[in-house]
Each structure stands twice: as C-alpha cells, then as structure tokens.
Amino acid sequence: MRLRFPTKPAVPPLLAVFLMFLSHSAVGIRNIPVRITSVGVESGFDAAQFSEAPEYRNGKECASQSSNRENFVSSCDPSLVHVAMTLDSEYLRGSIAAVHSVLRHASCPENVFLHFVAAEFDPASPRVLSQLVRSTFPSLSFKVYVFREDAVINLISSSIRQALESPLNYARSYLGDILDPCVDRVIYLDSDVVVVDDITKLWSTRLTGSRAIGAPEYCHANFTKYFTSGFWSDPGLSGSFSGRKPCYFNTGVMVMDLVRWREGSYREKIETWMQIQKKRRIYELGSLPPFLLVFAGDVEAIDHRWNQHGLGGDNVRGSCRSLHKGPVSLLHWSGKGKPWVRLDEKRPCPLDHLWEPYDLYEHKIDRAKDQALLGFSSLSELTEDSSFL
C-alpha cells in the first residue's frame, strides 16, 4: 500500500521529504493524564501528560503468540522479538517515543516484547512506571525489571558529562543477569532513538562464530581517543587489543546473544575494566569504553542504517549534527542534546523534527489531529536512493 501526504511550506525541502514518511495519522488517540512526582504517578494535568498510542495489531502473515486465558504473553515464547530498554523519569518521554516508533513500523507489532529495566530508587517507582507504560500502550507485551543500583554504583567513575554517570546507564551490562533466563537473545536500544523500519529486520541479524554482540561498526573513527595516553603507554593495558582490529561501535543499539554473553562471563569482564578505571583513570567517557575493551574487534558488523547516531551533538556543547550518508532505519540522538528538550525550548536542530511524530506527550495531541488527513510515503521509496540524505 502506498500512501502520500503534502509537505509543510515552513519545513526545508530536504527535511520535508523525510517528514512525509515519519508523520502518521493519529485518529482516535485517547488522552491519559499523568503526573510524575517524587512519590510516583498521579492523575492530573500539570506535568507529564501522555496520549494513548494507536492500537497496532498483527497481520495474517504473522506467527501467532501463545497466550493464556488472561491473554498473558510469556516472555519465553519463541516467536517473540525481544527488545530491552531502560525506563526512568528523566528519559521517560524518549522511551515512550522509542517504543511507539518500534510498534508503528513493526510488521508484526504484537510479537514485540519489551523488557524495561527501571532503577530501584528512581523518583517514579518501577511499579508506577509500569502502570504508565500500560496506560500508554494497552496492547503491548512487556515486563519491568528492577535494577539494583548498588550492584554497580561503586564501580562508576566520574565522566565528562554527569548524565553518563547514572547507574542505569550501565544496565545494558547486566541484561544477561536481569532478564528471564529463557530469553536467549535481545535487541538493546537506548531511550533516545526512533526506529523507522521493521525491527524484525534487525532481529534477524546472524551473529557468526562465537560473537556475543552485533552493532554498526565505524572503523574510520580515531579509536585511540577513547582512552587516555596512560592507557596507550602501558603495554599491560593496551596489549588487551593484541590480535584484534578494534573499531568503534556505539552501545546504544546492539543485538545480543545472551547465551554466549552468560557463558563468556562478559559482565564480569566489563566490571574488571571498571575496577581498573577506578584505580588508573584509563578513559573519560562512561559505560562505552569497557564495552570497547571487551568487544572491539569481535563484533558482528551491522549495516550503518541501524544506528544513525550522534544526533544529540557532542557530549559538552550538544551542537547540531546532520545525518550520515546512506539509508536510515534508526535515528539516535546520542550526545548531550535531546530532541524533546530542544523542541520544548523552541531551539530545535533540524533533525529533531524527525523525532516529533513519535512523541506522545500531551501537547502533541492537536498536532496529531491536524495530521489526521495526511498520508505518508513508504520507507522503501525514500531509502532506495539515499541521495536525499
């Protein structure tokens, strides 16, 4: 089915083409008033009000899931596509938009199972966050896990940006321990992404050999800048890359084989490097360098379209960035600037408008209704020729 809609004059022509695809009608969205406070979520209209997402259902071509009388879907169902994300009050708006984007473009949305990892001491409790997800996505199959921050708090070193020091930022290293043992494979996504393609395509990535993770690699990047001069001058440390050809990869989008992860004791290996960091100061960033130390040079390379990262700008100034050349399946606002913050402050970067169609925050309701008569072009049409990027 091919659908189209007109562009808005105020939007630059190049950006408008992409917005044609990303915008979507939102007829019949019901309003769910919510307020996050220090004690949880309360009904009200003065803060984080979200809309209920449209109901996304499977087509006839989808494999059906097994469910019990209460329509409960088990996370052990082999037909499921497992996606893991963190969930906290600070990045809640981004997480909701990310989930919305996954469901909107999934060929079999009911087969997507979300695993949310919530901090034990978040201002909004895991139970409250779970209620909020249920009210926003009534048909979503998901589970919320509590991440005990004391498991990692003593291993975290100061970083160039305080947000990178959050214990929840390290939860991806513990997925093998946190998720149900029957979950042997998962896609990890950061909260500042939107998926504009069928998540099943990423799920089908084959991890060859004994590789435990897959991610887009960037071998042209200056790998040495991710570690201090003291690290590179010490053969005992830098020698850890001996026999490998390490490339940079971003940990915000990963396909993870949790069976190999557990068998390889990779969580313990990451923790070992964090302990060395506490003593020697071998890097300046947060949770990324330990992953590079353990996995760089042994990562299944995934097409770059699955992580158009860096859209948040650098980690200090948060400057605007443009898209990389090539097709796009996932947009990632890694870096300091987040699209919802810049949009609210009315100082958005051009690409922040690509995040807007997935935002379910309440002030988007009128805009969504205005778009009810608009159509959208297929992603295959737009990305077949990447010259528009």
Closest C-alpha to 211, from 266, 249, 253: 266
Closest C-alpha to 14, from 353, 310, 389: 389
- Domain locations in the chain? 81-359
Q: What is the pLDDT of residue 311?
A: 95
Q: What is the pLDDT of residue 155?
A: 84
Q: How far is CA 292 from CA 65, 84, 297, 313, in A?
A: 36, 20, 8, 21
Record the pTM.
Answer: 0.81
Closest C-alpha to 312, from 338, 288, 346: 338
Q: Are 229 and 281 in contact (CB under 8 A)?
A: no
Q: What is the pLDDT of residue 284?
A: 83
Q: What is the pLDDT of residue 64?
A: 63
Helix (H) or strand (E) holding 247: none
Helix (H) or strand (E) holding 13: helix 13-22
3-state SS of 194-235 is EECCCHHHHHCCCCCCCCCEEECEECCCCHHHHCCHHHHCCH
Tell me the three state secondary structure of residue 31: strand
Cβ neighbours for 68, distance < 8 A, ≥ 6 positions apart: none
- pLDDT per residue of the chain (389 residues) written in tens, 0 to 9: 333 333 334 445 445 444 444 433 333 333 334 444 433 444 333 334 899 999 999 988 887 665 544 557 888 998 899 999 999 988 999 999 999 999 999 999 999 999 999 988 888 888 899 999 999 999 999 999 999 888 888 887 665 556 556 788 899 999 999 999 999 999 999 999 999 999 999 999 999 999 999 999 999 888 888 899 999 999 999 999 998 999 999 999 999 999 999 999 999 999 999 999 988 889 887 789 999 999 999 999 999 999 999 999 886 777 899 988 889 999 999 988 999 999 999 999 999 999 999 999 886 544 444 444 333 334 443 333 332 22
CATH number of 81-359: 3.90.550.10
Classify each residue of 118-141 as buried b or exposed e, where b means 16 or more C-beta atoms within 10 Å of its C-beta: bbeebebbbebbbbbbeebbeebb
Tokens 């297929």 sit at which residue?
Answer: 378
Structure tokens at 306: 């699955």
